[in-house]
Amino acid sequence: MVAPVVLLTVGGLLANGLWFSYTGAGQAMRDMTRERLEIRRGMVHETRDEALDVDRERLEEIDVQLPILLQRYKITRSALLILYCGVVVLGLSVITIAIAVGQHNEATANVALGLVLAGTVILVTGLGVAAVSVAGSATAIKYAVDRSQRD
């Protein structure tokens, strides 16, 4: 069996990598929301029809892409929370192992083993949810590329 400390480290590294994806998606949504508001503010004062058409098209893109990005953001957040829970359970298993060794208690050792197994299952679950997020990450980009190639 892999030592729980190794699993703990792996869970931390996975969560750290996923955190960068999570914050990047959040920043992209904030930027798109800001752009949407700036376009809407500018449309009130704009007089050129051509600029208005481009702005309307970009607003349509943003209105389609933001819900897609928000869905991915929520899935990524879920994956992060699951990974963090796995890390906590594995941390508890390390403490329980130390107690079991110190007390030479078989029941505590069995609890520690259960915690290691539960932590591993939780990490794998978090990794699966993260994979779902990655699998859907190209949807908004694909939409923008496909839309730009139509004209």
**List of residues 6+ apart from 114 with CB closer than 8 A:** none
- Number of compact structural domains in the chain: 1
Given a cut of 70, the residues of the chain with pLDDT beneath it are 1-2, 43-51, 151
Distances in Å between the Cα of 11 and the Cα atoms of 26, 81, 132, 133, 142 are 22, 11, 17, 17, 31
Structural domain containing residue 130: 4-150
Only one residue has tokens 């929370």, namely 81
In order of 25, 34, 69, 73, the CA distances from 133 in angstroms are: 11, 24, 10, 8
pTM, entire model: 0.82
